[in-house]
Amino acid sequence: MATKLRARRLRRTSPTSESRLVQFLLIAIALAFMGVILLLPLYAVFHEAFIKGVGAFFAALGEKDAQAAIRLTLLVAAIAVPLNVAFGLAASWAIAKFEFKGKAFLITLIDLPFSVSPVISGLVYVLLFGAGSFLGPWLKSYGIEVLFALPGIVLATIFVTFPFVARELIPLMQDQGTGDEEAALSLGANGWQTFFRVTLPNIKWGLLYGVLLCNARAMGEFGAVAVVSGKIRGQTTTMPLQVEMLYNEYNASAAFALASLLALLALVTLVLKTALEWRFGNEIAAGH
Amino acid sequence: MEVRVQNVRKEFDRFPALHDVSLDIRSGELIALLGPSGSGKTTLLRLIAGLEMPTQGKIFFGDTDASEKTVQERNIGFVFQHYALFRHMTILENISFGLKVRPRSSRPPAGEIRRRALELLDLVQLSGLEKRYPSQLSGGQRQRVALARALAIEPAVLLLDEPFGALDAQVRRELRKWLREIHDRTGHTTVFVTHDQEEALELSDRLCVMSQGKIEQVGTPDTVYDHPTSPFVFGFIGESSTLPVTVENGELWVGGRAIGIPAGDASPGEARLFFRPHDVDLIEADASLAGVVSTARRVGGTRRVELEIGGAGHLVEVDLPFDHPAGEKTRLAFRPRRWKLFPAG
Ligand SMILES: Nc1ncnc2c1ncn2[C@@H]1O[C@H](COP(=O)(O)OP(=O)(O)OP(=O)(O)O)[C@@H](O)[C@H]1O
Ligand SMILES: [Mg+2]
Three-point CA angle B113, B117, B120, nearest 5°: 140
Distance B214 CA to ligand 1 centre (A): 13
* Ligand 1 atom nearest to B39, measured from its CA: 21
Q: How many whole angstroms separate alpha carbon A264 and alpha carbon A216?
A: 11
* Ligand 1 atom nearest to B40, measured from its CA: 18
- Tell me the pLDDT tens digit for each residue of A93-150: 999 888 888 888 988 999 899 899 999 989 988 988 888 888 888 888 888 888 889 9
Q: Is residue A213 part of a domain?
A: yes
Which residues on chain A are in Cβ contact (under 8 Å) with B78?
182-183, 186
Q: What are phi and psi of B253, to 5 degrees?
A: -125, 140
**Is A287's pLDDT higher than 50?**
no
Residues A93, A141 within the same domain: yes
Q: Is residue A100 part of a domain?
A: yes
Out of B78, B82, B86, the one facing A186 most closely (by C-beta) is: B78
Q: Kindly list the distances between the CA atom of residue B337 and the CA atoms of B142, B158, B239, B283, B298, in Å, as whole numbers in the listed order.
A: 45, 40, 15, 11, 22
Q: Is residue A9 part of a domain?
A: no
Which residues form the domain of A22?
16-49
Q: Is residue A8 part of a domain?
A: no
Percent of chain A with pLDDT over 90: 49
* Total domains in the fold of chain A: 2
Contact B145, B85 (CB under 8 A): yes
CB distance B42 to ligand 1 below 6 Å: yes
Which residues on chain A are in Cβ contact (under 8 Å) with B70?
185
Q: How many whole angstroms separate alpha carbon B92 and alpha carbon B239?
A: 44
Q: Is residue A10 part of a domain?
A: no
Record: contact A184-B76, CB cut-off 8 A = no
A153-163 burial code (b ≥16 CB/10 A, e <16): bbbbbbbbbbb
**pLDDT number for residue A10:** 52
Residues A99, A234 within the same domain: yes
- Tell me the pLDDT tens digit for each residue of B253-295: 888 888 888 888 878 888 999 999 999 888 887 788 888 888 8
Q: How many whole angstroms separate alpha carbon A123 and alpha carbon A136?
A: 14
* Ligand 1 atom nearest to B33, measured from its CA: 21
Q: How confident is the model at residue A8 (pLDDT cuts 50, 70, 90)?
A: low
**pLDDT number for residue A286:** 44
Sequence-ordered list of residues with C-beta below 8 angstroms from that of B166, at least 6 positions apart, any chain: B81, B82, B139, B143
Residues A23, A109 within the same domain: no
Q: Compute the mean pLDDT over every residue in chain A, rounded to the nearest whole number.
A: 87
Per DSSP, the residues of B150-186 read: HHTT--SEEEEESTTTTS-HHHHHHHHHHHHHHHHHH
Closest-approaching ligand to the CA atom of A98? 1
Distance B49 CA to ligand 2 centre (A): 14
Closest-approaching ligand to the CA atom of B195? 1
Sequence-ordered list of residues with C-beta below 8 angstroms from that of A124, at least 6 positions apart, any chain: none
CB distance B40 to ligand 1 below 6 Å: yes
Of residues B17 and B310, more confidently modeled: B17
Residues A40, A71 within the same domain: no
**Is B334's pLDDT higher than 60?**
yes
CATH number at residue A118: 1.10.3720.10
Q: How many whole angstroms separate alpha carbon B152 and alpha carbon B99?
A: 7
**pLDDT number for residue B214:** 94
Residue A54: Cβ-neighbour burial (10 angstroms; 0-12, 13-18, 19+)? exposed
Q: What is the ipTM of this complex?
A: 0.84
Q: How many whole angstroms separate alpha carbon B164 and alpha carbon B242?
A: 31
* Ligand 1 atom nearest to B10, measured from its CA: 12
State which residue of chain B sits closest to A182, comparing Cα positions: B51
State which residue of chain B sits closest to A198, comparing Cα positions: B86
Contact B124, B95 (CB under 8 A): no
User: Closest by alpha carbon to B215, among B17, B8, B12, B21?
Assistant: B21
Out of B71, B82, B102, the one facing A186 most closely (by C-beta) is: B71
Residue with the nearest Cα to atom 29 of ligand 1?
B38
Record: contact B149-A202, CB cut-off 8 A = no
Neighbours of ion ligand 2 (CB under 5 A): B 42
Distinct helix (H) and strand (E) counts, chain B: 9, 20
Q: How many whole angstroms separate alpha carbon B188 and alpha carbon B154?
A: 9
Q: How many whole angstroms separate alpha carbon B59 and alpha carbon B1?
A: 13
A21-25, A65-69, B49-53, B56-60: the lowest-pLDDT one = A21-25
Residues A39, A174 within the same domain: no
Residues A98, A240 within the same domain: yes
Record: contact B72-A198, CB cut-off 8 A = no
Domain end point (choices A49, A67, A92): A49
Residue with the nearest Cα to atom 17 of ligand 1?
B42
Q: Is residue A226 part of a domain?
A: yes
Out of B87, B88, B149, the one facing A187 most closely (by C-beta) is: B149
Residue B207: Cβ-neighbour burial (10 angstroms; 0-12, 13-18, 19+)? buried
- Tell me the pLDDT tens digit for each residue of B219-264: 999 999 999 999 999 999 988 999 898 898 888 888 888 888 888 8
Record: contact B78-A183, CB cut-off 8 A = yes
- Give the strand pairing for B56-61 and B206-211: unpaired
Residue with the nearest Cα to atom 28 of ligand 1?
B38
Residues A45, A125 within the same domain: no
Q: How many whole angstroms separate alpha carbon A273 and alpha carbon A205?
A: 10
Residues A108, A40 within the same domain: no
Shortest Cα distance, chain B CAs vs residue A172, angstroms: 15
- Tell me the pLDDT tens digit for each residue of B132-183: 999 999 988 998 999 999 999 999 899 999 988 777 888 888 888 888 988 9
Out of A183, A188, A201, the one facing B72 most closely (by C-beta) is: A188
Record: contact B101-A184, CB cut-off 8 A = yes
Residues A162, A35 within the same domain: no
- Tell me the pLDDT tens digit for each residue of B186-228: 889 999 999 888 889 999 999 999 999 999 999 999 999 999 9
Q: Kindly list the distances between the CA atom of residue B162 and the CA atoms of A262, B143, B183, B198, B333, in Å, as whole numbers in the listed order.
A: 55, 10, 16, 13, 42
Residues A41, A85 within the same domain: no
Domain end point (choices A7, A29, A49): A49
Record: contact A186-B150, CB cut-off 8 A = yes
Residues A233, A176 within the same domain: yes
Residues A28, A150 within the same domain: no
Contact B290, B284 (CB under 8 A): no
Residue with the nearest Cα to atom 26 of ligand 1?
B37
- Chain Cα centroid distance, residue A136: 29
Per DSSP, the residues of B236-286 read: HSS--EEEEEEEETTEEEETTEEEEEE-TTPPSEEEEEEE-TTSEEE---S
Q: Tell me, what amino acid is at B257? A: R
pTM (2 d.p.): 0.81
User: Closest by alpha carbon to B251, among B239, B236, B231, B266?
Assistant: B266
Q: Is residue A182 part of a domain?
A: yes
User: Closest by alpha carbon to A56, among A263, A241, A239, A255?
Assistant: A255
Mean pLDDT of A180-209: 92
Distance B196 CA to ligand 2 centre (A): 12
Q: Is residue A101 part of a domain?
A: yes
